[in-house]
Structure 1
Amino acid sequence: MAAGLTVPIENIALIQDNLNHYAAETGLSEELGEEIQVDGQLKIQEATVEVVEELNRLAPFGTDNLKPLFLFKNVESQDVRRIGGDQAHLKMKLVEDNTFLDVIGFQFGSVADEIGLYSDVSVVGKLAINEWNGSRKTQLMLEDLAIEGVQVFDSRSTQIPAALCNTEQADFIFFDQLNFEKYGHLLPDTSFSHHLTDGAAIDQFEMKTTQLIFVDCPSDSEWVKELLIANHPEKIIACFYSREELYLNGIPNRNQFGQVFKYIATHVDIDVRNKLTLLATHLKIKENNLIFIISVFLEIGFVTITDGVMNVVKDVQKKELEQTTTYKKRLKQIESENFFVYSHFSELESWMKQQANATL
């Protein structure tokens, strides 16, 4: 059950590299995992304190009398986190039929980064009783686990997390050009950045890794759906950062459209290139909403902008604002942001898993 040798300290790294290389080349590394003999499969509701006390009557446990190992198959993970001073250990809850079981995994800390919230997992471990402040409940000492299906992680925030750009072996999806220019070149050499701006780019995209990271929010929710169905990632990180926060700003009402048009109609040579902020302050309209209103007017033909100077166009036929491409695009962006940024994560996770498991 053991082996040893004597070697100069300076050669340890070299020996380790060569052993690892040999194991990888011969396929031995895939066969080294010890086979676990499971004594039985339980439902979480069956793992009671009384059951553990009954099992403990088989003690003492040791080499010739191993403590029973139990399998809990396809149960839901919750509250997954690292614990310990060096964050080396794993703690989580398993849920099945509204019954909970605490799990402790010593030296499983790194696995916490691979288990998404509400993921389906199968775990093997030894049952024990945890006593705290007079309360006694069952917990599982983890021996091994398998993560079922695609994993989805919630990294949504009011900014792009700095640590996100350190993720190795991932495909980063940028829909926003400014974010792509700012962060795309900061990624590790093992990861890839992709700037996708339209349906054609979505159709041509192919993953280079098994991990997909949505850095920012798309203009159209269908783009994410198409990417997931076509590529079937094993791991998804949902950041969906929204620089403009269109959902919170909403769409300007007709009074605001009328207010801006009235100002434009009564002024000439409006310097929108250099004085847009001042104009927004004067009209008491958010600057990005003012840009949107002007964009709609420009599409309809109500105004012209030449070298940053805007003027009204006289005697233009009345047109419906809602029928413009600019207006319709804004509605889609708001709908997309509402779902990807503000929906409950369980809803978003369920939807993304459904798309990733779908077929074309």
Structure 2
Amino acid sequence: MLTSQSNWIFTYKDQIEEQSPLDDLSLSPVIKKLLAQRGWKAKEEVEAFLHPTLGQLHDPALFQNIDIAKKRIEQAIEDGESILVYGDYDADGVTSTALMVEALREKGAMCDYYIPNRFTEGYGPNEEAFREAYKQGFQLIITVDNGIAGVEEVKVANELGMDIIITDHHEAQEQLPEALAIIHPKCAAEYPFKELAGVGVAFKFATYLLGYFPKQFLDLAVIGTIADLVPLHDENRVLVHYGLKALANTERAGLKALKRQCSIENNVTEEDIGFRIGPRLNAVGRLQDANMAVDLLLTSDPDEADELSSYVQELNTERQKIVAKITEEAIAEIEQDDSNPHVLVVAKEGWNQGVLGIVASKLVQTYHRPAIVLAIDPDNQSAKGSARSIDGFDLFTSCMKHKSLFTHFGGHAQAAGMTLPLENISVLRDELDAIAKEQLTENDFKPQLNVDASIDLKDVNLEMIQELNQLAPFGMGNPKPSFHIKAIPAEIRQIGATKNHLKIKFDQDGAQVDAIGFGLGDVYAKLTKDTSLEAVVELQENEWNGMKKPQLFLKDLAITEWQLFDFRGAKQWQNQLDNTLDYQYVLTFHEQKDVMADVISPDMLKAMDGPIEALYLIDLPESLEELSCLLNGKQINRIYACFQLTNSYFFQRIPSREEFKWLYQLMLKRKYFEYKVDAPKLASYKGWKLEKIKFMFQVFHELGFLTREGSTIVPTENPGKKDLTESPLYQKIAKQMEVEETLYYSTYQQLKKWIEEQLVCASEPEEEMVYGF
């Protein structure tokens, strides 16, 4: 048995109407079910979803105050005023900044941009930066991807005589800044879509400002939209759909250079942005000033673009090393804590603040617990960092219950940033742990994995994958479909330079499909052949040497039946002991030496009640009945056959009755047998081994057919009539040969079948136990 790492939520078991308005669509049943499960009910909605058009974009004039903002910019251009674009240091922020700068310059404005430093200034507007802008002669500031919380900063700008236009998408606070204009979807009652990214808002403003649809900015819009993890519905889906095409064919020197660094050719996918382009742009602001990222996006010089992109690549590599080091140190600190906390809080001096959110995410992935990672500033006696949470724990609400502990705090249910005095760290740890203990159950500490449908391998083909791709682009609000399969692995192997990946060839009723599981190499030792395996997978297309075929991407695995692991005769069987298991036992029928594990006797196993996670069989019993009696009625998840054999009887055939008869008649004729002298002669004459002759005489002796007079063996007068099988030695050897044949020399399939038959009373594990429901 292999327990899944996630709770599998079978969403397709929810009730779906048999008669659906989508029945008339020329789509496969799988696609129609997926659409229905995701809330699409009208054919017109589905058509719009599957075939995005620019006509689905909303009129930017619906933004409140957008006309005021446009007129102020046009006035600034006419009067020769300097305009400052005030951005943010993440991928959404830098793309928003580059887009707005290009739009203003196309309009004829004199403008520049400013990205606050993550470490010295933090997120959003700050008074010092606004005062410096005033000194440099800027009369108008336009914020992108920030500003909605800058109440005091905007007040300062107004006092200085500067005008502020805010474009933002973050949650509005109770009090709004007194800006000249606020362009924000959630602050515009008439604007129908509220979930634009910061770059999406900037794009809409640029559209209104320029008076036409600026398709040249789509390559920027798609990066910020995907990187900021906004729901890919409505306008976001349209912008991403067209933006991916624009990015694939971009003429922007910086993006072309960045794509080369990412080894992206031809088409660009949402995964390319989410896992390659986005992290590289984010890396700049995580380690230093993010202005370089904007420079890269704005440059038209190919040489400068290559130079900047190379440096961005170096920063991303450095960021990965820093994250790995901090994560390692954080894990070491967590492992030293024996209290097994529900909420992880780690803090250390010298940690880079810019990557702590990534580290927190890695801790959540590793431990499936909310995690707060803080960098200690000994000079200020404070700590600053980031937090990430799990689905069942609202981090924002829980922290706000103790907001007095923080100097600064902000975020939402799943992520947050914070600053607090050093003396409050332990208090925060205790308070959050108490809340989590009260709210969370054991199941909450396993990640949730939604399953959209169960499919058979015979249905997995390129045509099905192409149909699924109609639902792309995938992302927040439109996840890539996950499917449940159940099949027997025909082949299992580890791949990769460090064997950290898993490759499986599944077989189901003759249909075979390859599957790949990145980072699942450690599961290899827990899988067995000829055992049905369940998996949650995504479908993908694999191309090799010009040949395309379907492939399964493994997200999670489970085995719901008992498993047999075959290590018969293996000298290093003790390497298979799994120290992570609580109920693991090594069974021996004979006294063992040099076994580096606690062993149990048959009587101890017989007295055990309840499930056993792993049972190691390291030597052979005297009879099959002995082992059968022990296994009957037991629930054992894994059985490891580690039998060792030194003296085998299996290849030493028991003498036939005719051979016994011939030897006995010889004894009756000769009347005596000097064993030391006559046995070698008999062995040479008959071609028998001495062990065989010795065995036959021992059987005759046990049956009372022969006696010993000194060193001479003589027939017994008038022996009773007995069958050979009445000899204890004959029985022992026959049973031992049967044991060896069944347990040691049998095939894997034969051994598994025999053990299966003995576990006749073992109760089936409940599905809830397997999947963690």
Q: If the TM-score is normalised by the length of the shorter chain, which range does it land in?
A: 0.7 to 0.9
Contact 1:202–1:226, Cα closer than 8 Å, also in 2? no
CA distance in 1, matches of 2:724, 2:555: 62
Contact 1:210–1:234, Cα closer than 8 Å, also in 2? yes
CA distance in 2, matches of 1:48, 1:339: 42
CA distance in 2, matches of 1:103, 1:213: 30
The corresponding residue for 1:206 is 608
Does residue 315 (structure 1) correspond to residue 711 (structure 2)? The answer is no
CA distance in 1, matches of 2:718, 2:545: 78
Alignment of 1:1-360 (within 5 A): 13-18=332-337, 21-23=340-342, 30-63=443-476, 65-72=478-485, 74-156=486-568, 159-164=569-574, 167-168=577-578, 170-175=584-589, 177=590, 180-182=591-593, 185-188=594-597, 191-194=598-601, 196=602, 201=603, 204-206=606-608, 209-254=612-657, 256-257=659-660, 262=666, 266-268=672-674, 270=675, 284-286=687-689, 288-304=691-707, 311-317=713-719, 319-359=722-762
1:243-291 superposed Cα distances (whole Å, 9 cap, x missing partner): 33323222112454356654795434x469xx99999678643455344
Specify the code of the residue in structure 2 equivalent to 1:292.
F
Coordinate RMSD, CA, aligned? 3.9
- Structure 1 residue 209, shift from structure 2 partner: 4.8
1:170-210 superposed Cα distances (whole Å, 9 cap, x missing partner): 322333x3xx434xx4223xx4243x4xxxx4884537952
- Structure 1 residue 55, shift from structure 2 partner: 1.8
**Bigger strand fraction:** 1
Contact 2:702–2:727, Cα closer than 8 Å, also in 1? yes
**Which runs of no fewer than 5 residues in structure 1 stay unpaired?**
none
Q: Secondary structure at the match of 2:733?
A: helix
Q: Secondary structure at the match of 2:717?
A: coil
Equivalent residue pairs, number: 338
- Structure 1 residue 232, shift from structure 2 partner: 1.8
What is the TM-score when the length of structure 2 is the normalising length? 0.39
- Structure 1 residue 89, shift from structure 2 partner: 1.6
CA distance in 2, matches of 1:278, 1:202: 50
CA distance in 1, matches of 2:542, 2:702: 68
Specify the code of the residue in structure 2 equivalent to 1:344.
T
Contact 1:228–1:356, Cα closer than 8 Å, also in 2? yes
Specify the code of the residue in structure 1 equivalent to 2:713.
N
Contact 2:573–2:642, Cα closer than 8 Å, also in 1? no
**Which runs of no fewer than 5 residues in structure 2 stay unpaired?**
1-228, 230-322, 343-366, 368-432, 764-773
CA distance in 2, matches of 1:202, 1:250: 35
- Determine which structure has more spread, i.e. the larger CA radius of gyration: 2
1:181–1:108 Cα change, 3 Å: same
- Structure 1 residue 36, shift from structure 2 partner: 0.9
Specify the code of the residue in structure 2 equivalent to 1:173.
L
1:205–1:77 Cα change, 3 Å: farther
Specify the code of the residue in structure 1 equivalent to 2:756.
K
Contact 2:537–2:556, Cα closer than 8 Å, also in 1? yes
CA distance in 1, matches of 2:443, 2:755: 31
Q: Secondary structure at the match of 2:523?
A: helix
Q: Which has the higher contact order (CA 8 A, sep 6+)?
A: 1
1:224–1:135 Cα change, 3 Å: farther
CA distance in 1, matches of 2:341, 2:655: 65
Contact 2:703–2:726, Cα closer than 8 Å, also in 1? no
- Structure 1 residue 160, shift from structure 2 partner: 4.0
1:61–1:359 Cα change, 3 Å: closer
**Bigger helix fraction:** 2
